[in-house]
């Protein structure tokens, strides 16, 4: 993916003003039966939550991220999307932290299943970043495209609508450019927007990514002022992407990382990082591609009703690798950290034909010990002991 | 909710979609048709389908067995329906809550079955070569269908040897059937235990001891090997040192499993998902992975 | 302070009795001292077995790695030999050897000793006899351990 380019498509329009356009867009979604999910400020972070109007967005807010650091503050301007990604990703909605797979009732001579569980509403994600769309594509390979597709994921995925946003304010922890997953939204979107904001104007340039995207856009266009994107508009959007790309300082070479990690499984750096890692599972919780889950069979107190529940799990827990319920294969932090990183960056390639990392940088910001996987890979590559 | 014209939202099923649960995580119900003790803490359970039966398993594959209200565990198939008169057979060692519950079920009880999952032993690929089957402890259970398939099609294979090891005589599985196998002139069957009381007239010693006296040429054989991981390692290495091709030694591995469909992440051994890329793998593929401590 | 030569250290080892003074000289030519800190590894399973050890002080654990935790086979202490995989191909350690406490060993280079055995068969024969004796002793004690003499008697 060439950074700094935007595909020039015929259906590329500029909506004015940007805030009204978003407000109308949310209204269109609600009338069409979607629950709108997007960024909101809450508890000192920009999280994902329901949006009912543009005022729910982090208007004028921006963020600052570094290893073990996440801060948000109000910049004071009218911007709608002047921040990078927060701790949550659309994964939370497409593959919820806890879901009931089925329930069953004890009957004479056995048991029978209840009717299927209620499914969640269709979601319209507003403000998704390129790295998040890339993360969803990675999860698709795991949960949808194999021989046993997860039915609730497939359903949620089919119904989900994505309004992507091209990043203008990357965090210091971002490295999507190295991973080829951004910053421009180029795939997986129904609509992709670029916020064009300066003293004279606040507009939203929108391009179409799918038929239903075109339909929704047409609906919004009937409610706000709009014009076709001019060459100047396209240049302005292109410049935003270029500047974002230039601002990105962290780097990871996905192919080199894959090769160097798998050939250094006993490198002393693993001991070094084990001395810092708390095995707290934060990285796996915030990662948009992590898919480990635990399946639990639970019963009511009277033993007559049983449920199978699936919930997020993490390879950083001791229980993740227990054998026969006695002892864990990965009994120390060193082996668990190694498992996480070598899976994410190396063996994921063997399993799914691509890297498991999309360069969103969340794991760096949200690690309380400030462990930076780009730095760990670089350290191992530098003192390569193959 | 206003019905919409565009196809993007199916408003009739937004909140209350109710239909029978489907998907790879929903078990098929089976009834316990028979149950017999095998060893001190192991039972063989025979099942017949109530719901639509699962696909015919291949030797080496496993199912996820569900005890209502207790839990679900991966258990290797120890008898495939087409060879067992239609019953699906498993031999289970009671080591935890779910396996204890399954071993305690009376005939007529209902269990859930998902599967079959994983890679099979690939018995037909061994046609034309000598066959060595080595089972240690409960590891003989997933090998029983191999022995039965090979002996049922005996002329397709070269020399056949079955080596069985267990802790004590009381821990041996399929004792009566082993005697039947042993009584055949066209199969070499040897059993050994680590320790035995007086009165035991069989071998006492490690199963590797039996490798020396085989009528098969280990360097031209296909080997099917299952047991505790350390035993697999020791036996496989001795075979490789004696000239057996590591690509023709098949082993069955075990890891923590929740979903059995390559989506929960628990059963990974390096790049392999043991539920889908295993449990049967070649020793050539397994050895470098098992050598990495705690991976 | 008098420093003891490697030759004299070898001569002191009870496990190497039956070897003649000239044999000790030959062996000393393949030997040197090493110290292992507690918790460090002297050898790893499947590594090339190109040396073996006589423990002078301290003790080591022989272990097999298993999925959830290493299995302790036995421990070897001062005055005893560690390692005989160097004797025959494929020359690979059968298990891990780890120092339980700070351990001083005499390291004997295997290829060097094998060459000397080949060059002087009488020497080689005496070395092999000594080793066979060590192995037989170790086997007997292992067999007695297998009898589970202190056990609950589920075998009886």
Q: What's the gap in Å between the CA of C67 and the closest CA on chain B?
A: 7
**Looking at chain A from residue 320 to 339, which residues have their Cβ under 8 Å from any Cβ of chain C?**
322-323, 326-329, 331
Q: What is the mean pLDDT of each run of 10 residues along chain B (295 residues)?
A: 39 50 95 94 97 97 97 98 97 95 96 98 96 96 98 96 94 96 96 89 84 73 95 92 93 96 97 98 97 93
Q: Show residues of chain C in contact with A265, CB under 8 Å.
A: none
Separation between Cα atoms, residue B217 and residue B245, nearest integer Å: 12
Q: Please give the average per-residue pLDDT across A240-248, as a whole number.
A: 96
CB pair distance less than 8 Å for A326 and C68:
yes
- On the question of pLDDT at A321 being above 90, the answer is yes
What's the pLDDT at B199?
86
pLDDT tens profile A327-344: 999 999 999 999 999 999
Strand partners, B164: B135, B191
Query: What angle do helix axes C110-119 and C21-28 make, rounded to 10 degrees?
Result: 140
Touching subunits for chain C (3+ Cβ pairs under 8 A): A, B
CB pair distance less than 8 Å for A148 and B262:
yes
What DSSP line would sit under A193-205, residue for residue? Answer: EEEEESSS-EEEE
CB B194 within 8 A of CB B186: no
**Measured between CB atoms, does B8 come within 8 Å of chain A?**
yes
> ipTM of this predicted complex?
0.93
Neighbours of A76 (CB within 10 A): 9
Q: What's the gap in Å between the CA of A326 and the closest CA on chain C?
A: 8
What's the pLDDT at A11?
61
CB B64 within 8 A of CB B115: yes
Q: Please give the average per-residue pLDDT across A254-270, as a whole number.
A: 97
Of residues B9, B23, B265, nearest to A151 (C-beta): B23
Three-class SS state of B3: coil
Most confident residue range from A3-17, A109-123, A147-161, A314-328: A147-161
pLDDT tens profile A192-221: 999 999 999 999 999 999 999 999 999 999
What's the pLDDT at B1?
36
As given in the structure block, the two tokens for residue A281 are 């599972």
**Measured between CB atoms, does A278 come within 8 Å of chain B?**
no
What's the pLDDT at A208?
96
Q: Show residues of chain C in contact with B170, CB under 8 Å.
A: 154
Sheet holding A225-228, edge to edge: A45-50, A35-42, A123-128, A161-165, A191-197, A202-208, A12-16, A225-228
Which residues of chain C fall short of a pLDDT of 50? Answer: 154-156
What's the pLDDT at A9?
47
């Amino acid at each position: 993916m060439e950074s700094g380019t935007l595909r020039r498509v015929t259906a590329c329009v500029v909506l004015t003003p940007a805030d009204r356009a978003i407000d109308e867009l949310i209204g269109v979604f609600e009338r069409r039966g979607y629950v709108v999910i997007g960024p909101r400020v809450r508890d000192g972070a920009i999280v994902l939550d329901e949006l009912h109007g543009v005022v729910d967005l982090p208007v004028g807010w921006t963020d600052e991220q570094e290893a073990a650091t996440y801060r948000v503050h109000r910049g004071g301007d009218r911007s709608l999307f002047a921040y990078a990604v927060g701790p949550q990703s659309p994964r939370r909605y497409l593959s919820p932290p806890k879901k009931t797979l089925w329930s069953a009732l004890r009957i004479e001579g056995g048991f029978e299943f209840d009717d299927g569980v209620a499914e969640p509403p269709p979601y319209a994600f507003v403000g998704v970043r390129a790295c998040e769309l890339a993360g969803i594509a990675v999860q698709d390979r795991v949960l949808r495209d194999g021989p046993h597709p997860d039915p609730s994921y497939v359903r949620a995925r089919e119904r989900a609508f994505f309004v992507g946003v091209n990043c203008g304010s990357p965090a210091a922890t971002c490295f999507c450019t190295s991973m080829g997953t951004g910053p421009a939204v180029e795939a997986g979107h129904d609509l992709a927007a670029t916020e064009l904001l300066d003293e004279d104007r606040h507009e939203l340039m929108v391009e179409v990514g799918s038929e239903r995207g075109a339909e929704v856009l047409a609906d919004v266009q009937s409610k706000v002022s709009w014009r076709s994107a001019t060459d100047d508009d396209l240049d302005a959007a292109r410049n935003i992407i270029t500047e974002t790309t230039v601002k990105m300082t962290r780097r990871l070479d996905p192919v080199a990382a894959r090769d160097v990690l798998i050939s250094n499984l006993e490198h002393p750096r693993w001991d070094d990082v084990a001395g810092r890692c708390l095995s707290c599972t934060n990285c796996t919780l915030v990662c948009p591609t992590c898919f480990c889950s635990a399946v639990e069979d639970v019963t009511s107190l009277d033993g007559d009703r049983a449920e199978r529940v699936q919930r997020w799990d993490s390879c950083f827990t001791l229980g993740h690798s227990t054998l026969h319920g006695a002892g864990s294969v990965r009994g120390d932090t060193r082996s668990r950290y190694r498992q996480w990183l070598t899976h994410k960056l190396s063996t994921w390639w063997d399993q799914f034909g691509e890297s498991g990392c999309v360069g969103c940088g969340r794991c760096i910001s949200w690690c309380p010990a400030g462990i930076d996987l780009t730095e760990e890979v670089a350290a191992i590559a530098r003192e390569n002991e193959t | 909710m206003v019905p919409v014209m565009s196809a993007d939202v199916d408003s009739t099923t937004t909140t209350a979609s109710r239909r029978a649960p489907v998907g790879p995580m929903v078990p098929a119900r089976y009834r316990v048709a028979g149950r017999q003790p095998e060893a001190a803490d192991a039972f063989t359970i025979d099942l017949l389908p109530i719901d639509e039966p699962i696909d015919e398993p291949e030797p080496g594959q496993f199912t996820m067995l569900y005890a209502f209200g207790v839990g679900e565990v991966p258990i290797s198939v120890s008898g495939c329906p087409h060879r067992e008169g239609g019953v699906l057979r498993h031999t289970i060692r009671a080591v935890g809550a779910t396996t204890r519950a399954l071993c305690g079920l009376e005939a007529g009880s209902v269990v859930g079955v998902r599967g079959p999952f994983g890679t099979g032993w690939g018995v037909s690929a061994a046609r034309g070569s000598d066959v060595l089957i080595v089972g240690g402890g409960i590891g003989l259970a997933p090998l029983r269908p191999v022995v039965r398939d090979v002996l049922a099609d005996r002329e397709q294979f070269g020399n056949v040897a079955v080596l069985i090891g267990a802790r004590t005589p009381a821990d041996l599985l399929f004792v009566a059937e082993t005697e039947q196998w042993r009584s055949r002139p066209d199969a070499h069957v040897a059993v050994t235990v680590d320790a035995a009381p007086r009165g035991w007239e069989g071998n006492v010693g490690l199963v590797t001891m039996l490798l020396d006296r085989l009528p098969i040429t280990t360097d031209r054989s296909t080997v099917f090997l299952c047991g505790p991981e350390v035993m697999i390692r020791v036996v496989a290495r001795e075979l490789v040192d004696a000239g057996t091709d590591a690509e023709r030694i098949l082993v069955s591995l075990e890891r923590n499993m929740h979903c059995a469909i390559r989506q929960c992440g628990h059963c990974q051994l390096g790049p392999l998902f043991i539920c889908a890329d295993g449990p049967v793998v070649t020793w050539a593929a397994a050895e470098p992975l098992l050598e990495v401590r705690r991976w | 302070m008098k420093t003891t030569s490697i030759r004299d250290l070898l001569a002191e080892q009870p496990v190497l009795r039956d070897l003649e003074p000239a044999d000790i000289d030959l062996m000393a030519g393949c030997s040197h001292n090493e110290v292992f800190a507690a918790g460090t590894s002297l050898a790893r399973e499947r590594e090339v077995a190109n040396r073996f050890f006589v423990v002078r002080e301290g003790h080591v654990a022989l272990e097999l790695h298993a999925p959830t935790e290493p299995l302790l086979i036995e421990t070897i202490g001062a005055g005893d030999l560690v390692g005989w995989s160097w004797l025959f191909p494929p020359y690979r350690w059968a298990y891990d050897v780890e120092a339980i406490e700070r351990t001083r060993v005499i390291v004997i280079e295997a290829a060097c000793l094998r060459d000397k055995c080949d060059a002087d068969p009488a020497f080689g024969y005496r070395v092999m006899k000594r080793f066979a004796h060590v192995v037989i002793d170790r086997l007997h004690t292992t067999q007695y351990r297998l009898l589970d003499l202190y056990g609950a008697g589920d075998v009886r």
